[in-house]
Amino acid sequence: MNLTGEKLCEKFASCVNSRPLKRAARYRVGVDLGTANVVVAVVDEDGEPVAGKLKKAQVVRDGLVVDFVGARDILTKMIQELCDELGEELVDAACAVPPGTGMADSKATMYVVEASGLEVRNIVDEPSAAAKVLGITNGAVVDIGGGTTGISVLREGKVVYTADEPTGGTHFTLVLAGHFNLPFDEAENIKLDEKNQKRLFPILKPTMEKVTDITKRHIQGFDVGTIYLVGGASALYGLKDVMSNVLGIEVVVPQYPLYVTPLGIALSCP
């Protein structure tokens, strides 16, 4: 990952669910509707992060909107809060869908964003948005989100292969819930506390190996020099090493993997 991308993510992380960093002449909004989180990124005319919001939500499954009203209400509230904090109307936006999403499902995502008061200027695919921030044109982007792992192979800036498999952060939590006999939410909190992650590694390793196997299967036949992990679950302690050891390929995890795609979506807004 290039330094510019890392710095942008760091800057964005510093303002998510906090105060806006500055006023700008123009604002561009990126909306990432995920299985686990809805993330809104706001950047200025030069692509500098200005403000952001993250909210846990269950309005999307496998990248597709399953609760239109819920999604609209959550997003409308997030956008309203951002407008209040910035003292400005937000209008121009981009949103993203998993690669290969059909027209009807892309429109559902667009309608949610427009129902929140924004105007959709661009719809991008998620790995291309991530690649923009990572500063890459070749390699594999593996997005380990809440519900799924999305594998995309990029060649000369184009997504040439894509797949989505139903194993993600939720499955790591389910494994912990089963192991410790705890409700899902408690297991999720234990997982997210970075102090615990080293101790949890042996319990979570088989699921990491599963994600690695999935990745291996899908990148076979492509000349992948580097794998870039994005999505919240790729921050898990040990996952990067399991993957690089098994696959024998360089694996890069940015410092803020949760924010790469949302930021890339905002940067894709003209």
The item of ligand ATP, Mg ion, none sharing an interface with residue 96, based on CB under 5 to 8 Å by kind, is: none
CA 58/CA 150 separation, integer angstroms: 18
Contact 87, 51 (CB under 8 A): no
Q: Residue 194: which residues within 8 A CB-CB, separation 6 or more?
A: 237
Site for ligand ATP in 42-101 (CB under 6 A): 60, 63
3-class DSSP state of 78: helix
Q: Quick one: residue 5, left, alpha or beta (phi over 0 = left, psi -120 to 50 = alpha)?
A: alpha
Q: Is the dihedral of CA 145, 163, 113, 74 positive or negative?
A: negative
Tokens representing residue 204 in the block = 């979570």
The item of Mg ion, ligand ATP, none sharing an interface with residue 170, based on CB under 5 to 8 Å by kind, is: ligand ATP
Residue 145 in contact with Mg ion, rule: CB under 5 A: yes
The single-letter code of the amino acid at 95 is C
Beta partners for 55?
A: 38
3-class DSSP state of 150: strand
> Which residue bears the tokens 């580097």?
226
Instruction: Considering only the stretches 27-35, 202-210, 221-229, 236-244, report the one whose residues sit in contact with Mg ion under the rule CB under 5 A.
Output: 27-35
Q: Which of 168, 177, 242, 253 binds ligand ATP (CB under 6 A)?
A: 168
Instruction: Considering only the stretches 31-39, 132-140, 234-242, 243-251, report the one whose residues sit in contact with Mg ion under the rule CB under 5 A.
Output: 31-39
**Smaller CB separation from ligand ATP, 37 or 109:** 37
**Smaller CB separation from ligand ATP, 97 or 136:** 97
**Smaller CB separation from ligand ATP, 28 or 191:** 191
**Smaller CB separation from ligand ATP, 108 or 236:** 236
**Smaller CB separation from ligand ATP, 86 or 177:** 177
The item of Mg ion, ligand ATP, none sharing an interface with residue 120, based on CB under 5 to 8 Å by kind, is: none
Helix runs in 116-230, H state only: 126-134, 169-180, 184-192, 197-219
Contact 30, 17 (CB under 8 A): no
**Smaller CB separation from Mg ion, 34 or 264:** 34
Tokens representing residue 57 in the block = 């939500």
Site for ligand ATP in 223-242 (CB under 6 A): 231-233, 235-236
Instruction: Considering only the stretches 16-24, 35-43, 115-123, 240-248, report the one whose residues sit in contact with ligand ATP under the rule CB under 6 A.
Output: 35-43
Residue 36 in contact with ligand ATP, rule: CB under 6 A: yes
Contact 59, 74 (CB under 8 A): yes
Site for ligand ATP in 172-231 (CB under 6 A): 188, 191-192, 231
Site for ligand ATP in 113-152 (CB under 6 A): 143, 145-148
Contact 233, 172 (CB under 8 A): yes
Contact 227, 215 (CB under 8 A): yes
Contact residues for ligand ATP (CB under 6 A)?
34-37, 60, 63, 143, 145-148, 168-170, 188, 191-192, 231-233, 235-236, 258
* Sites of contact with Mg ion (CB under 5 A): 34, 145
